[in-house]
Amino acid sequence: MPATQTKKKKVAKRAPVTNRTARTRSAKKSTTLDLSMAIATRDRPTLLHATLASLARMKTTRIKWELVIVDNGSREATGRIVEGFKDSLPLRLVCEPKPGKSVALNRVAPELTGRLACFSDDDILFPPDWLATACECARKLTRFGVFSGPVIPCWPRSPSSSFLNHPFAREALTWVDHGDEPGPWPEEHWPPGANTVYRRRLLDDEPFDPERGPIRTDRLIGNDTELAQRLAARKVRFYYEPRLTVRHMVQPHQMQPPFLWRRAYQKAKTLASLGFANGEPRWAGVPRWMFRETALRALATAQSWTGLSARPRIDAELHLAEVFGWIAGARLAPAKTGDPT
């Protein structure tokens, strides 16, 4: 099984959320806004300022919306940054000291009152017509429940051609672009969480798995992917709208090999934990092919270090990080009944 496989597969649902009382209350709340947006942030005031500045420039004529900033335990000037935009944005600040992006977003999800909900990031730049386009899609495309679009990098400096053309760079930076034609979301991909709009009625009061999402280096990522999988299992349809384009502010360290290694490990660990390795023969809880692949990739990495292989060193290291991630994630995913051992 190739380590880069990302085809959609049915996976087991995570444990039900426990906030059922709150969910019942949420279902009874009146919905008066067109869209609610929540952004979790922690100690990134410069990026947050740029994101809020782009949101303040959006065209909002005849659109009612709200913006909730969740301070996830910042030590820096998050409150001061938010205060500076209170006259130009319909925003409020909520504090959630327990670390974890999913924890922070789950904290405010029951309070959102928009017909649509977006859970974005503090390093995203929005174009002026993004909000109007999102509302238009939801109004016209009633058969669809989720809307998303391209995420294009905003580089801090010109990237090298080797980095720009590396196939993993797009995955590591959530670089998404499926062309200029709108239509149903490509089946072989999942929409990027930072640029996805949901019909709020489709969401639980705790939409994100609290065990996933940025918090530590080895943390499982893919909190938005896990949510998308659960919605897809309920036959919710996803729509791709190229006019819903946002820019992701890439940081200098994200253009360096250590970031790519870490993302390769995290992505493979996440995919394996979501069940993409199920159905394979296992030993000690780990698909057997992973042990063989580890030995082969370790050898390839050693050869790249010593110059015995023409393969680029970064490629060999990324593939080794991937297989380590697959092993770590496979141990978190319970084997399906009938999996060979």
Residues 175-210 as b/e (b if ≥16 CB within 10 A, e otherwise) read bbebeeebeebeeebbbbbbbbbbbbeebbbbbbbb
Average pLDDT over residues 235-240: 97
pLDDT at residue 220, as a whole number = 59
Helical ranges in the chain per DSSP H: 20-28, 45-56, 78-83, 101-108, 130-140, 161-164, 167-172, 223-233, 257-273, 288-306, 313-330
Q: Which band of pLDDT confidence, cut at 50, 70 and 90, is reported for residue 8?
A: very low
Average pLDDT over residues 203-225: 74
What count of Cα atoms within 13 Å lies in the side-chain half-sphere of residue 178? Answer: 21
Query: CA-CA distance, 155 to 10, in Å (whole number)?
Result: 36
Q: Which band of pLDDT confidence, cut at 50, 70 and 90, is reported for residue 264?
A: confident
Report residue 213: phi and psi, to 5°. 110, 155
Q: Coil, helix or strand for 84? A: coil
Report, at the CATH architecture level, how domain 20-255 is classified: Alpha-Beta Complex (3.90)
Decide the pairing of beta strands 238-240 and 183-184: antiparallel
pLDDT at residue 43, as a whole number = 93
Neighbours of 87 (CB within 10 A): 7
Q: What is the pLDDT of residues 128-148, one digit of tens each?
A: 999 999 999 999 999 999 999
Alpha carbon of residue 31 to chain centroid: 26
Whole-prediction pTM: 0.77
pLDDT at 62 over 80: yes
Query: CA-CA distance, 16 to 13, in Å (whole number)?
Result: 8
Beta bridge partners of 68: 38, 92
pLDDT at residue 282, as a whole number = 66
Query: CA-CA distance, 322 to 328, in Å (whole number)?
Result: 10
Q: Coil, helix or strand for 6? A: coil
6-20, 83-97, 134-148, 214-228: which has the minimum mean pLDDT?
Answer: 6-20
Q: Coil, helix or strand for 170? A: helix
pLDDT at residue 263, as a whole number = 81
Q: Output the average pLDDT for the chain.
A: 81
What SS3 string covers 94-131?
EECCCCCHHHHHHHHHHHCCEEEEEEECCCEECCCCHH
Average pLDDT over residues 304-316: 60
Let me know: does 56 contact 89? Beta carbons within 8 Å. Answer: yes
For residue 323, what are its two tokens? Answer: 């297989």
Q: What is the pLDDT of residues 74-121, one digit of tens each?
A: 987 899 999 999 999 999 999 999 989 999 999 999 999 999 999 999
pLDDT at 37 over 90: yes
